[in-house]
Chain A
């Protein structure tokens, strides 16, 4: 049968390897970027400044989850899910309040005195440095697990002709959380009075004000949402890998790339941008030799397949969002979705 023949020559092993390394890994890291980029883009849309401490806010959210884990170590085992995941809604609430507190303490005084945008950027950088310092002060510099001893990290293997498609429990949770968050955010922005008011302020703050929309309420809601999503992204990332105070170093650039690729101020763009940056990273570091090797018999003799053939070595992964950022800024400064860079 021709189909069986075709299947037989398909390098299933290598394809599954590709799915694991590129598709699943890209989806996972892309989801983390999306959860962060939505916050960055909402804050920019409403407050018109780049919130650099966003990665640290994600890290802080994960540390809140860690503290909760110490306080209530048994709850996960009781329901059969990782403790940190069960406690994540509380961590989200705490981080949301923390975000509002940061605004009250640092950003609002600046806003009220009507500072120039560049001063706002400097404030944002200052808060970032402060948060990094505080995190190290309280958490040290070591690496921690967000898994309690009583939790078990389930790994699901779906056999696909030889090699297994592998997906871990935290990855599934991350993916599920992202979908829930995106749907909830969409409903909120398009159906609720406050969500529409947020879009109105992002569209035209002066007109929002003369319509009687309370800018203070909108700003507070923005921080609550951004803080909660940051905590979710941080906690789930830490569950998938490990929890370190400098978690934010590796994610803040891709998050900003995602927000800018998606068009600053566009929540849906930020989600698409997060996934795009995630896939670009995994595609760029993928070892393409793996897929070429099965073609060996069909390729001319003189072509040698190197042991490693990737666009970027894994340790330089961070250049990928950097290049995306530069490319977008050069060719399409408003992002792939029309963002509000110009007004």
Chain B
């Protein structure tokens, strides 16, 4: 039996979110960003980790592959929370992709961190995800 993913994440070629996930060292699945990749299907509850890409605005803040992933109702039913990556330089739009997804999917925005996160961010999220899990059905 394979272990269910606790985290589902997206990360572009700059790979900040991927590095954060690697440091967390928890089971995680990546939403592919290559256009020709086969779409990710998730079969169990997960927390979504998503970077913001709106450049300060709402439009375009949630990366397209994440939208496509969540448009799949099957994937969407298992989301339990969202963690946002970003940069405070974007002001009011800091971590805005997390707010948008939380609102759209009616799940809590659990945490925000910048770039690939500090050691403290890694500790907070590892501790948080571990005790948050397993979620109530």
Do A and B pair up? The answer is: no
